Amino acid sequence: MLDQRLIRENPNVVVTAMQRRGINIDINSLKLNSEKLKEIEALRNELQAKGNLIGKEVGLKIKSGLSPNSDEIISLREEGNSIKQKVVLLEEKERSLFKKIKANLLELPNLPSIDCPDGKDETENVEIRSWGNPLKGKNLKEHWQIAEELKLLDTQRSVRIAKSRFITLFNQGARLERALINFMLDKHISKGYIEVLPPVLVNTESLQGSGQLPKFAEESFKCSEDDLWLTPTAEVPLTSLHRGEIIPSEDLPIRYAAYSPCFRREAGSYGRDTRGLIRLHQFNKVELYWFVHPEKSKDAHDQITSDAEDILKTLELPYRVVEICTGDLGFSAARTFDLEVWLPGANAYREISSSSICEDFQARRSSIRTKEGKKTRLVHTLNASGLAIGRTMAAILENGQQPDGSVRLPNAIEPYFGAKLLKT
């Protein structure tokens, strides 16, 4: 959430930043409401201070011997009661105006970092670097073809159980999914990450805190009889682990690694990667999440990205790093690097991780601060997929496919899976 002070004092900064995202906003109404709220707060504080002084004066006069029923005491109490009534009315106006301002602020995305390249859409994202030698050739199969031939998954029975865009993994497929989850968690934990297994159901406040609501309500699955939603990513519960807290500065950075199933409607994506493991309503993911001191968040972004890249390198999967331009930037992100893994069967790179720095955007929405001496300030948050499991499996199937129909597994996975090959 954006800072009201910035909107009051430097509205043009916000307008210009939103234009970089391709968004034109009329900030005047929000600015005026924020200024009015500030005035009401100041008047309420002034009246409350005056009321407190009157209360003390009444106490001192009675203590000095003046009768509680004297005209002077009665007059002071009437003045005090009048002030209390005015304060109550101001508090009601304050709550109503704050609610309106908050609703408007929740709709606004984060401001892009000055380091984020300008661009109108995904066609203007910038490739930063690549790793590995992409496999290319004729007659290379896509992962869903390989998976069907090896009987790793079943989509038709999944439709019977749920609906389209769900899968059921069998035998080697289920074992490989489990092996990948354990491998990724072990890899990250060895680097000092704290393992977390968060709830799959999250409340509205958690979704608002991470920036998923109200923007992505239609993309989420909600339990109709409870204030609970199926989590779209472990980023949501991890953000709320410290919601409303003041984290001691000596405890920063805090680095979490969490496995979680994720649930998304994927509205509007029909016809795009709908076969196989790329775009599903339910998928597994290992998420990395950092709470850091604001002055160290830029270096943290480089590190969390490197930690996600290390998984791809260890699994021997060619990939590239792409910096997302302002027009394609996610709602909560100030700057994002996408990791795109090479899929030789599709002859294309596909996103497998987004590594984002959100600066203080999520921390303000979730009231997460750190203390420096007597002062508190908002922390910065970062997140990265480390990695999406289904897409990792897809990349392993396509990059490891052999002429005889088997699939060679990366060396790092063999101890977890128990074999070097997937085969019939």
Q: Find the helix or strand (DSSP H, E) in which 38 lies.
A: helix 28-63
Active-site residue (options: 21, 44, 264, 364) = 264
Residue 374, pLDDT above cutoff 90: no
**Res. 95 pLDDT band, cuts 50 70 90:** very high
Residue 272 pLDDT grade (very low, low, confident, very high; cuts 50, 70, 90): low
Instruction: Say if residue 98 is in the same domain as residue 173.
Output: no
Please tell me the distance from the alpha carbon of residue 363 to that of residue 17, in angstroms, as a whole number.
Answer: 20
What is the tally of structural domains in the chain?
Answer: 2
Residue 354 annotated in active site: yes
Active-site position among 279, 364, 365, 369: 279
User: Is 255 annotated as catalytic?
Assistant: no
Boundary (domain end) residue, out of 43, 78, 106: 106
Q: Which of 379, 358, 324 is nearest to 110 (CA)?
A: 358
| Residues 343-371: tens digit of each pLDDT | 999 999 999 999 999 999 999 999 999 99
Answer yes or no: do 163 and 89 share one domain.
Answer: no
User: Where does the pLDDT of residue 269 fall: very low under 50, low under 70, confident under 90, or very high at 90 and above?
Assistant: low
Domain span at residue 344 reads 122-422
- pLDDT for 267: 65
Element (H, E) at 170: none
Provide the token pair at 54.
């009157």
Nearest to 119 by CA among 385, 314, 322, 318: 322
Which range (229-243, 258-272, 279-293) has the least confidence?
A: 258-272
Percent of the chain surpassing pLDDT 70: 98
Instruction: Tell me: do 84 and 147 sit in the same domain.
Output: no
How big is the CA angle at 331 (ends 328 and 335), to the nearest 5 degrees? 65
What CATH number did the domain enclosing 10 receive? 1.10.287.40
**Pair (258, 347) in one structural domain:** yes
State yes or no: is 275 an active-site residue.
no
- Are residues 238 and 383 located together in one domain of the fold? yes
Q: Which of 297, 354, 356, 366 is catalytic?
A: 354
Residues 351, 367, 406, 408: which is the catalytic one? 351
Instruction: Work out the pLDDT band at 373, boundaries 50, 70, 90.
Output: confident
Residue 275 confidence (pLDDT): 82
Q: How many CB atoms lie within 10 A of CB 76?
A: 16
Residue 335 designated active-site: no
CA distances from 181 to 130, 134, 164, 308, 418 (A): 24, 24, 24, 13, 15
Does 279 participate in catalysis according to the annotation?
yes
- Whether the upstream peptide bond of residue 288 has omega within 30° of 0, thus cis, is no
CB 356 within 8 A of CB 335: yes
Residue 116 falls within a domain, yes or no?
no
> How far apart, in whole angstroms, are the C-alpha atoms of residue 277 and residue 174?
13
